Chains A and B, each alone.
Chain A
């Protein structure tokens, strides 16, 4: 029982980060029908930029409050990632609108590897320790189940960010323009929406969320390196598909569900397969779920969109 509860806690934490990343995928897909393969790399750039900022801050102002340092690091990482998202859209994807269907995807894959390579050049191949600025001392709300303050902070922050995004999309003028562009960008343009700006903005917002998610990932695992974004990126994409791609609520739900399935699966796979498979197979769950969802319910849990496009 404790194992189950513990894995649920872990799953919720990881799942809420997946949800944040999945939002970026789903927003871009909703508007352009493009899988922005490089989104996972934006997460990585966010984490490493934050790490760099923290290292500098620790050198310049060692006595600064840890939470303030972390906040500054996030506030530096976000604009950097947003700029990156903007540049990607402006320099690559925008030119490929209306190109044959494989071209934008291949470009996105190339972009993903380009960003990884650049990160490798800047930060090297090694794993970096990410400073733990929020306490990692485990608490025991229920005997046998451990929760750390970092984990609590991750869940709260991602819930807040997601609530903010929902408000932005449903309540503001800007959000209405975004929804209109996603619905039909030609008609939206006729109605006076600057669709190019909206599309660029979608990339920028997604990248901002990815930066936050990157800092969370790095804080949760305590490490950061150049390839850290790829797997979470794929999993977040799976989460977006699971929830119904193009659907914001779906991405959040998908992220949480995927996190839970993965954590619980990893906890029990060894007993379920009589010791043949163990938790090193954890990464398989996401792909299996992705396959199953796409084959049996391509619209996802909450989806309205049909997947048979592109």
Chain B
């Protein structure tokens, strides 16, 4: 929370308590404001929260433990497909969320360990490429496992996933008290918000725990970490599996919210997008992951709403469609951030990292 407060420009440093309440209030009323602009903005907010969970999880791996993972979206996919298998008409299984979500998280964690074991010895850029390969392998399997036995339904994906049902309270149905109706997008928003807040608390505790400090030591100097008795192997596996767990939970929530999963949602571009959020916000910093996810989810949508009419007015046709704009924005964000401000928008707190490593100049 403190980091988040400091991340607010101007106000954060001068009036921390005021800022704290401001953040809480904005988080609570955000969907009401979004609703004013239309349903699609509420949906975007819900997605922003999902991306926050992903960015928080990836930040654990990349920012805290220093392991560049380019296949992170595979864990999201594992979570989403677990939901699709166990809570949809595809296999005719409809299990409640309190079984499916933990199972998805467990499968994702397992996938994290499966990936982690062989790549333990790799560092830096090699690790990145192998994890990228892992992500691609998962995607290729999702795409092709509809033959000879139909498991994933191939590129068409799986439809009509069960929505989130909290002990008989279906989040996909709008709540009504007499004339007063609460749209289901609000319900999802607050539920996701709860998940994100829970994640933040958990990760913050983790960061200042023995494990978090061990990760920081390992990230800054692996050899030295080994020498002071940190079990680097276990710490790496823990980072991969914990990061994957967040991906798995977010994936399950995504499946329930979207009601539809297909390999297309888990392309390399998505891994890169989440990585960009972490890098843009500031690696190794919880507030960075939150800010990065929020900005990079919202900005393409804002651009979409501004750029399209502008283009139509100027040229008569749409030259850059929204998807192109998003890619352009993400790739430029990545390059320019690395060149101009490598520590990110919200640089990590000095106590848990070595700023001279972030500034470079070796």
Q: Give the residue name and chain of the A residue nearest to B268 (CB).
A: A230
Selected from A111, A275, A281, A295, the residue in CB contact (under 8 A) with B118 is A295
A104 to B276, CA, bound (A): 14
Q: Evaluate contact between B133 and A113: CB separation under 8 angstroms.
A: no
Selected from A237, A291, A310, the residue in CB contact (under 8 A) with B123 is A310
Selected from A111, A276, A310, the residue in CB contact (under 8 A) with B126 is A310
Q: Is chain A's interface secondary structure helix, strand, loop, or mixed overall?
A: helix
Question: Which residues of B are found within 8 Å of A278, using beta-carbon distances?
Answer: 144, 147
Q: Is A105 an interface residue (CB 8 A)?
A: yes
A69 to B312, CA, bound (A): 38
Q: Give the residue name and chain of the B residue nearest to A310 (CB).
A: B124
Q: Is B330 an interface residue (CB 8 A)?
A: yes
A284 to B136, CA, bound (A): 8
A287 to B342, CA, bound (A): 30
Q: Evaluate contact between B130 and A291: CB separation under 8 angstroms.
A: yes
**Taking A99-B342, A100-B342 as contacts, is the C-beta distance between A117 and B327 under 8 angstroms?**
yes
Q: Give the residue name and chain of the B residue nearest to A307 (CB).
A: B126
Q: Is B77 an interface residue (CB 8 A)?
A: no
Q: Is B214 an interface residue (CB 8 A)?
A: no
**Number of A residues, CB within 8 Å of B:** 48
Q: Evaluate contact between B125 and A111: CB separation under 8 angstroms.
A: no
Selected from A110, A121, A281, A298, the residue in CB contact (under 8 A) with B331 is A110
Q: Evaluate contact between A287 and B137: CB separation under 8 angstroms.
A: yes
Q: Is chain B's interface secondary structure helix, strand, loop, or mixed overall?
A: helix
Q: Is A173 an interface residue (CB 8 A)?
A: no
Q: Evaluate contact between A294 and B126: CB separation under 8 angstroms.
A: yes
Q: Evaluate contact between A110 and B338: CB separation under 8 angstroms.
A: yes
Q: Is A290 an interface residue (CB 8 A)?
A: yes
Q: Is B269 an interface residue (CB 8 A)?
A: yes
0/1 interface trace, chain B 268-282, chain A, CB 8 Å (1 if under)? 010010011001000
Which residues of B come within 8 Å of A, CB atoms? 62, 66, 68, 70, 118-119, 121-126, 128-130, 132-134, 136-137, 140, 143-144, 147-148, 269, 272, 275-276, 279, 283, 319-320, 324, 327-328, 330-335, 338-339, 342, 357-358, 360-362
Known A-B contacts: A234-B133, A310-B123. Give 15 more (CB < 8 A): A96-B338, A99-B360, A102-B66, A102-B283, A106-B279, A107-B334, A109-B272, A113-B269, A113-B272, A120-B324, A234-B132, A280-B143, A287-B133, A288-B137, A295-B118
